Amino acid sequence: MTTTLLPGSTIGIFGNGQLGRMIALAAKPLGYRVHVFGPEAGSPAAQVADAESVARYDDRGAVERFASSCDVITLEFENIPVSAVHWAEAITPVRPGSNVLEVTQHRVREKSLCVDLEVPVPSFAAIESFEELRQALRGVGVPAVLKTATLGYDGKGQARIATAHDAAKAWDAIGARAAILEAFVPFVSEISIVAARGLDGSFRHWGVIENVHTSHILDTSVAPASVSDQTADHAVEIARQILEHLGVVGVMCVEMFLCSDGAILVNELAPRVHNSGHLTIEASPTSQFEQQVRAVCGLPLGDSSIRPAAMANLLGDLWANGQPAWEKALGGDAVKLHLYGKSEARAGRKMGHLTALGATTDEALRRVVSARNMLRKA
Co-location of 71 and 210 in the same domain: no
Residue 245 near residue 113 (C-beta atoms within 8 A): yes
Q: Is residue 260 part of a domain?
A: yes
Co-location of 266 and 145 in the same domain: no
Co-location of 56 and 158 in the same domain: no
pLDDT of 219:
97
Q: What is the pLDDT of residues 165-197, one digit of tens each?
A: 999 999 999 999 999 999 999 999 999 999 999
Q: What is the pLDDT of residues 113-168, one digit of tens each?
A: 999 999 999 999 999 999 999 999 999 999 999 999 987 666 578 899 999 999 99
Give the dihedral sign, CA 353/354/357/361: negative
What is the rounded average pLDDT of the residues 203-216? 96
Q: What is the pLDDT of residues 45-68, one digit of tens each?
A: 999 999 999 999 999 999 999 999
Distances in whole angstroms, Cα of residue 272 to Cα of each of 23, 96, 210? 10, 8, 18
Which CATH number do you get for residue 316? 3.30.470.20
Q: Is residue 219 part of a domain?
A: yes
pLDDT of 154:
60
Q: What is the pLDDT of residues 350-366, one digit of tens each?
A: 999 999 999 999 999 99
Q: What is the pLDDT of residues 307-347, one digit of tens each?
A: 999 999 999 999 988 999 998 888 777 899 999 999 899 99
pLDDT of 152:
65
Co-location of 197 and 243 in the same domain: yes
Q: How many other β-carbons are positioned within 10 Å of the β-carbon of residue 3?
A: 9
Domain count, the chain: 3
Co-location of 225 and 287 in the same domain: yes
Return the bridge partners of 269, or none: 254
Co-location of 60 and 161 in the same domain: no
**Confidence class for position 89, pLDDT limits 50, 70, 90:** very high
pLDDT of 13:
98
Using CA atoms of 157, 21, 197, 5 in order, give the dihedral in degrees to the nearest 10: 140
Q: What is the pLDDT of residues 289-309, one digit of tens each?
A: 999 999 999 999 999 999 999
- Percent of the chain residues past pLDDT 90, beyond the cut: 91
pTM above 0.85, yes or no: yes
Rounded to an integer, what is the distance from CA 263 to the centroid of its chain?
23
Which CATH number do you get for residue 24? 3.40.50.20
The phi, psi pair for 182, rounded to 5°, reads -125, 140
Co-location of 29 and 76 in the same domain: yes
Q: What is the pLDDT of residues 223-252, one digit of tens each?
A: 999 999 999 999 999 999 999 999 999 999
The phi, psi pair for 206, rounded to 5°, reads -110, 25
**Confidence class for position 1, pLDDT limits 50, 70, 90:** very low
Rounded to an integer, what is the distance from CA 355 to the centroid of its chain?
17
**Confidence class for position 278, pLDDT limits 50, 70, 90:** very high
pLDDT of 328:
85
Query: In sequence order, which residues have a C-beta less than 8 Å from that of residue 131 and are 6 or more positions away?
Result: none
Co-location of 196 and 174 in the same domain: no
> CA 339 to CA 72: how far, in whole Å?
27
Which CATH number do you get for residue 171? 3.30.1490.20
Q: Is residue 323 part of a domain?
A: yes
Long-range contact set of residues 126-133: C-beta below 8 Å, sequence gap at least 24 = 126/178, 126/179, 126/180, 127/178, 127/179, 127/180, 127/181, 128/178, 130/167, 130/168, 130/171, 130/176, 133/167, 133/170, 133/171, 133/179, 133/181
Query: In sequence order, which residues have a C-beta less than 8 Å from that of residue 135 and are 6 or more positions away?
Result: none
pLDDT of 58:
97
Return the bridge partners of 208, or none: 193
Strands 264-270 and 144-148: unpaired
Q: Residue 139 sits in which domain range?
A: 123-183
Q: Is residue 259 part of a domain?
A: yes
Among 74, 94, 114, the domain-final residue is 94
Co-location of 67 and 174 in the same domain: no
Residue 11 near residue 70 (C-beta atoms within 8 A): yes
Nearest by Cα to 279 from 346, 215, 194: 194
Give all strands (DSSP E) within 23-178, no chain letters.
33-38, 51-54, 72-75, 124-127, 144-148, 158-161
Co-location of 213 and 334 in the same domain: yes
Cis, peptide link before residue 39, omega less than 30° from 0: no
Q: Is residue 111 part of a domain?
A: no
Co-location of 165 and 296 in the same domain: no
What's the mean pLDDT when you consider all of the chain?
95
The phi, psi pair for 333, rounded to 5°, reads -70, -20
pLDDT of 216:
86
Residue 223 near residue 358 (C-beta atoms within 8 A): no
